[in-house]
């Protein structure tokens, strides 16, 4: 998976498809996002995925879409967030969770546009644009029409996050299990004089888009619900697991992991089509 250098004032940060940034870079992004939001953002009351074609999205538009759009569920200590604010727990430490429908078209377009801006795509020659398009298309190939890809990210600076089993709750109450799961990005920082944890734990769940010949979700379904179960074994390296078995799934009983990260399907409509 390629790394892209962020554009503008955050050019020192690096970003990849999972969008795992160091805490300092994240704080800067949130500060910039809050400033742009107050300044007016898109210049219209409509969100960027409604107001603009994706080729006109700004850096802030892309960050807004992959964090606060209907295709992303950002849960901080204070609850679900729909804009760049910062909550802290009683010890003054910050923790949050992010679930993103990575296979949804607007999310993929946001990453593509962000990469274009980072590489100054609009100033490229025709040959350079062709090379960029080919490289990005190769990276994007895993998001094909047969799969639903969900990205989960946990960050907490007080206790280690844990990757867990994942499942989608379908309209009839049954569960769809991942056909593969990727675990990665576990970090612990030791500071002089004290031990302080900065932990980012990530998982990517891949589901079949159809079950028994039917799509997982349809436009008339109430919501898409992602839940998590028991802790998965993880040794600090990138690990790819095979299919998760329904008989092994044990629902978590904490916060949104067990209650479900809920995405109302009416909000997932994009250009007249249900996207997830």
* pLDDT tens, residue by residue, 189-222: 555 555 555 556 788 999 999 988 899 999 999 9
CB 64 within 8 Å of CB 41: yes
**Number of compact structural domains in the chain:** 1
* pLDDT tens, residue by residue, 77-93: 666 766 665 444 444 44
* pLDDT tens, residue by residue, 137-189: 887 777 778 899 999 987 764 444 567 899 999 999 999 999 999 987 655 55
CB 225 within 8 Å of CB 168: yes
Bigger pLDDT: 19 vs 245: 245
* pLDDT tens, residue by residue, 181-195: 998 765 555 555 555
Give, in order, the Cα–Cα distances in Å from 236 to each of 24, 153, 244: 22, 15, 20
CB 236 within 8 Å of CB 187: no
Task: Determine the Cα–Cα distance for residues 240 and 5; give it in Å rounded to an integer.
Answer: 26
In terms of residue numbers, what domain contains 78? 4-274
Q: Write out the H or E segment, with its range, that includes residue 59.
A: helix 59-68
Angle at 2 between CA 76 and CA 64, to 5 degrees: 35
């Amino acid at each position: 998976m390629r790394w892209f250098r962020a554009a503008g004032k955050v050019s020192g940060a690096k970003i990849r498809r999972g969008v795992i940034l160091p805490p300092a870079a994240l704080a800067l992004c949130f500060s910039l996002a809050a400033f742009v939001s107050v300044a007016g953002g898109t210049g219209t009351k409509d969100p960027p995925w409604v107001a603009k074609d994706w080729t006109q999205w700004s850096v802030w538009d892309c960050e807004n879409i992959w964090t606060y759009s209907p295709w992303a569920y950002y849960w901080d200590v204070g609850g679900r967030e729909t804009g760049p604010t910062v909550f802290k727990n009683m010890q003054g430490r910050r923790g949050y969770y992010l679930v993103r429908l990575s296979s949804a078209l607007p999310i993929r377009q946001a990453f593509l546009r962000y990469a274009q801006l980072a590489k100054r795509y609009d100033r490229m020659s025709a040959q350079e644009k062709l090379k960029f398009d080919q490289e990005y298309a190769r990276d994007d190939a895993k998001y094909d029409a047969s799969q639903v890809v969900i990205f989960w990210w946990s960050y907490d600076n007080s206790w280690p996050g844990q990757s867990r089993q994942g499942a989608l709750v379908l309209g009839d109450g049954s569960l769809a299990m991942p056909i593969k799961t990727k675990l990665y990005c576990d970090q612990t920082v030791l500071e002089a004089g004290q031990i302080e944890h900065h932990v980012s734990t990530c998982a990517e769940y891949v589901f079949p888009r159809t079950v028994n010949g039917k799509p997982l979700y349809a436009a008339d379904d109430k919501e898409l619900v992602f839940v998590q179960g028991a802790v998965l074994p993880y040794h600090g390296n990138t690990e790819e697991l095979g299919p998760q078995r329904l008989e092994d799934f044990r629902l978590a009983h904490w916060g949104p992991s067990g209650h479900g990260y809920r995405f109302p399907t009416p909000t997932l409509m994009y250009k007249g089509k249900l996207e997830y």
